[in-house]
């Protein structure tokens, strides 16, 4: 990947992480992230900095992958010549419809889950993003890495993603920037840019707890693992906020953790998030 593209991807990732931290009201980490964002921005040429300022006024998502010759943000299929330029050119390329910057990277993990059939009842709330098969009432994992691998493998085994190993690698790179562990013994590891399907959520509970954050957090007992397509990046923050709001309540966490089967856990998850995730 061209160094300039990689630089912009890193910058966008930090900006999205900052939005996550702000949503969780973790103000003590914002200054650190602001400093990193400012440092990366200062390394860009003045014309690229001006371009970013204009784009960020409209949307936090400024650079997106091209998959199968199409922009993953708006779905626009690019002319063959334009798609080739995205793959080989040293110059920044933009989508002609949404005007976001485009890049191409081989080997990204893909969401291969099947779309809902028209004959099926319309799903609402968090049922749109999860299924009983993605629930693990008793995680076997004893470490953060093992928990992420267990949940990613469950997604692959259930036919939602094509490569659990790639998900694990991407999720751990994200954790290395800022831990996704939050208060109330919860963690929200995730992977962005998993194209080919919708946002997908897996859930695991650890009775003893897992050390997710190497610093100030206690053991994590509830782990929400999500894969997020580019087009759902903005909605992901709303989903994250809804889950955090629901399970900041001790009774909600107790009810979820008490379930012993995937089906019962899924039904409890739907019931508890009925008002916070629409």
DSSP codes, 170-227:
HHHHHHHHS--EETTTEE--EEE--BSS--EEEEEEEEEEE---SSS---EEEEEEEE
CA–CA gap between residue 231 and residue 73 (Å, rounded): 5
Q: In the structure encoding, which two tokens stand for residue 23, read together?
A: 């949503």
CA–CA gap between residue 207 and residue 209 (Å, rounded): 6
The full set of domain ranges for the chain reads 3-103, 125-272
Position 32 scores a pLDDT of 86
What's the fold here for domain 3-103? Helix Hairpins (1.10.287)
Residue tagged 């694990």 (tokens): 168
Position 214 scores a pLDDT of 65
Position 191 scores a pLDDT of 96
Contact in structure between 63 and 5 (CB atoms under 8 Å): yes
Contact in structure between 195 and 171 (CB atoms under 8 Å): no
Helix residue spans in the chain (DSSP H): 3-23, 27-42, 46-56, 80-88, 144-157, 164-177, 233-246, 250-258, 262-272
Tens digit of pLDDT per residue, the chain (278 long)?
578 899 999 999 999 998 888 777 666 678 889 999 999 999 999 999 999 999 988 888 999 999 999 999 999 999 999 999 999 988 899 999 999 999 998 888 899 875 444 445 668 899 999 999 999 999 999 999 999 999 999 999 999 999 999 999 999 999 998 889 988 999 999 999 999 889 999 999 999 999 987 666 689 999 999 999 998 988 898 999 899 999 999 999 999 999 999 999 999 999 999 999 98
Tell me the CATH number of domain 125-272, given options 3.30.70.370, 3.30.70.141, 3.20.20.140, 3.40.930.10: 3.40.930.10
Contact in structure between 266 and 131 (CB atoms under 8 Å): yes
CA–CA gap between residue 64 and residue 70 (Å, rounded): 10
Position 28 scores a pLDDT of 64
CA–CA gap between residue 124 and residue 117 (Å, rounded): 14
Position 183 scores a pLDDT of 86
Contacts of 43 (CB under 8 A, 6+ apart): 7
Position 7 scores a pLDDT of 93
């Amino acid at each position: 990947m061209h160094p300039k593209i990689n630089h912009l991807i890193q910058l966008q990732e930090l900006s999205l992480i900052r939005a996550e931290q702000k949503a969780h009201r973790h103000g003590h980490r914002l200054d650190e992230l602001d400093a990193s964002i400012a440092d990366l921005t200062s390394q860009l040429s003045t014309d690229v900095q001006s371009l970013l300022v204009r784009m960020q006024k409209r949307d936090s998502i400024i650079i997106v992958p091209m998959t199968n010759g199409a922009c993953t943000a708006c779905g626009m299929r690019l002319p063959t010549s334009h798609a080739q330029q995205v793959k080989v050119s040293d110059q920044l390329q933009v989508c002609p419809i949404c005007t976001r910057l485009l890049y191409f990277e081989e080997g990204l993990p893909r969401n291969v889950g099947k779309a809902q059939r028209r004959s099926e009842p319309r799903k609402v709330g968090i049922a749109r993003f999860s299924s009983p098969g993605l629930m693990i009432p008793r995680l076997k994992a004893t470490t953060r890495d093992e928990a992420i691998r267990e949940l990613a493998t469950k997604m692959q085994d259930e036919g939602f993603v094509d490569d659990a190993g790639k998900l694990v690698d991407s999720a751990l790179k994200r954790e290395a920037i800022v831990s996704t562990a939050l208060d109330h013994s919860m963690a929200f590891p995730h992977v962005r840019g998993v194209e080919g399907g919708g946002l997908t959520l897996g859930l695991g509970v650890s009775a003893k707890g897992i050390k997710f954050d190497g610093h100030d957090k206690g053991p994590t007992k509830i782990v929400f693992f999500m894969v997020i397509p580019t087009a759902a990046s903005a909605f992901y923050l709303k989903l994250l906020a809804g889950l955090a709001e629901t399970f900041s309540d001790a009774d909600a966490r107790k009810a979820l953790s008490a379930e012993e089967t995937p089906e019962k856990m899924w039904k409890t998850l739907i019931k508890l998030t009925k008002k916070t995730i629409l």
